[in-house]
Structure 1
């Protein structure tokens, strides 16, 4: 009995220690420290073995991403305000005789300067563009990020800015966290974009957590469940109910979904679930065979530009009774 008691105490101690470690992980994953020295951000995949071990035990200390570039064409710096009163910085780029306006949503630990490749092509196609930094990213205020859960309010601020200019053709483009934010924001705020372009969105926050753990080579279970539990409590959000694949059912406008076949973070079943759930028959899935979780605009530029151009130029069609969309290789 004494031995069993000791074993039980050891197991209890290990469980408590595991929860402490994962509580720190959850806090650090959703907190961006100020970055006055403008240190560039790094992806976990680029960490050395020692850095990965340190991150595994103590979590990654994320710093605000640095805005290190700007559009080559004339642009206007705009200030948006979210529901917390935080100031968000954006760039508004006007086109001659614009066909509409594209709002670009960057990913986690990124910023608006990281989507300039996409911005340039949309501008080349004749669209106004609005690039903005989500809260806690780039030059926007705040330190806490909720992986798209509350960033929907940031997107709403950007959407309202464009709408106030009487724009009738608003297109939403987003990558990773930005794409997940779009999926959640459309039904949450009753947004009415004409078309939507999504690049490698995660199917659920639970899937996103597992993808992050895979990048650090940490076993997914039970760490994923505990990280989601602690993250939800620390940021006062329902992590388990945050499911972009479910929100996809509310999208009735044309949707282009892009995914990289070598993506270690967002897996094919997640992408298939989102695509299958999209509430429109006017949808396309384009797979980039040589890309991972990275910008397709830079990694497979010719294929990406063709997919974007074809999608935007396609005329809207009446939705048939049964979905007829095909996955494009």
Structure 2
């Protein structure tokens, strides 16, 4: 049979089997969509061996967005490009064993008479070196400091991230180390973005009891923050956001739909300070307010004008230092 006749026969079959054709087309599209979201979930939660990190969607050209949609993001394994020594701060490197075979790298900056022990947790796609400027501020406030690399980041083992879920165990182990290193001193946990989520998770599910917590831009629900990623790309989130959370959960053996910091927050009864950027496009002010409202203890919310999803200290160091110093003073007075 010639090619034109074969095409004619195929077209005739399609016209006479419309429902079956539509069902096959839908099935094929559904399968391709699952493959696509599986790959994107993998790329967003597994660190690559190298290459340049994918830039923010707001900075992409149309061609750049199309390429990312096709191939997924590139998330190089976060490295520590600086150490406290670069700020003339003495430190020692420690390692923590976490259940599941994970080993965390920690920088310890001791103090002869610390007012408190502050433990700092970095955000998504970052390492502890990103918090060195905040570390210097806490040192100026006469605190001992622990800087922690989450699993997969910096000097810790692993190559994946779960956006604060399994990192909750990392935060809990670090808190216990802090209590051991500074007995009798209040332990204050500081986290940015994913780091703040890990703190809430550790309190709710690991049973730690810090003296106080300082959180920057915590998201309220994992599904919500994934939806924001699609919005930043100029795309509707349904159903891809739901499928991405589903496949990410399958890949990491967790229920991503139940990873909701707004629910963890109800377990927090210690003093809490939340700082958030007014123009944050990754986590809305309303979402942070929901987390704040759920906190059960003494609490304070500070919205930083003109700040996005970034370091509040880097963009408004004066406002950051003022809020943190006053909060720490209250915590240390109450702990005496």
Unaligned runs of 5+ in 2: 1-15
Residue number among 266, 283, 286 corresponding to 1:266 in the alignment: 283
1:97-137 Cα distance to aligned partner (Å, 9 max, x none)? 21011000000100001011111101111101100110111
TM-score, reference length from structure 2: 0.89
Quote how far apart the aligned CAs of 1:316 are: 8.1
Is 1:60–2:73 an aligned residue pair?
yes
Question: Partners of 1:298 and 1:148 in 2: how far apart?
Answer: 23
More displaced stretch, 208-217 vs 141-150: 208-217
Structure 1 residue corresponding to 2:47, chosen from 19, 29, 32: 32
Shift of 1:315: 5.4
1: distance between equivalents of 2:235 and 2:153? 26
d(CA) in 2 for partners of 1:118, 1:292: 18
Structure-1 residue corresponding to 2:194? 177
The residue number in structure 1 matching 2:243 is 226
Q: How far apart are 1:204 and its partner, in Å?
A: 1.0
Q: Partners of 2:121 and 2:244 in 1: how far apart?
A: 25
Taking the aligned partners of 1:277 and 1:247, their CA distance within structure 2 comes to: 8
Q: What is the TM-score of this pair, normalised by structure 1?
A: 0.91
Q: 1:161 aligns with which of 169, 177, 190?
A: 177
Q: Shift of residue 234 of structure 1?
A: 1.3
Aligned residues: 314
Contact in 2 for aligned 1:40/1:65 (Cα 8 Å):
no
Say whether residues 1:284 and 2:300 are aligned partners. yes
Instruction: Name whichever of 123-132 and 12-21 sits farther off.
Output: 12-21
CA RMSD of aligned residues (A): 1.8
The alpha carbon displacement at 1:51 in A equals 2.9
Q: Is there any run of 5+ residues in structure 1 with no aligned partner, and where?
A: 319-329
CA distance in 2, matches of 1:93, 1:246: 33
Write the distance in 2 (CA, Å) between the matches of 1:293 and 1:212: 12
Aligned mates of 2:78, 2:68 — CA distance in 1: 18
Matches within 5 A, 1:1-329: 2-35=17-50, 41-45=53-57, 46-71=59-84, 72=87, 73-165=89-181, 166-280=183-297, 282-314=298-330
Large movers: runs of 4+ above 3 Å: 39-43, 45-49, 315-318
Distance change (3 Å), C-alpha of 1:316 and 1:119: closer
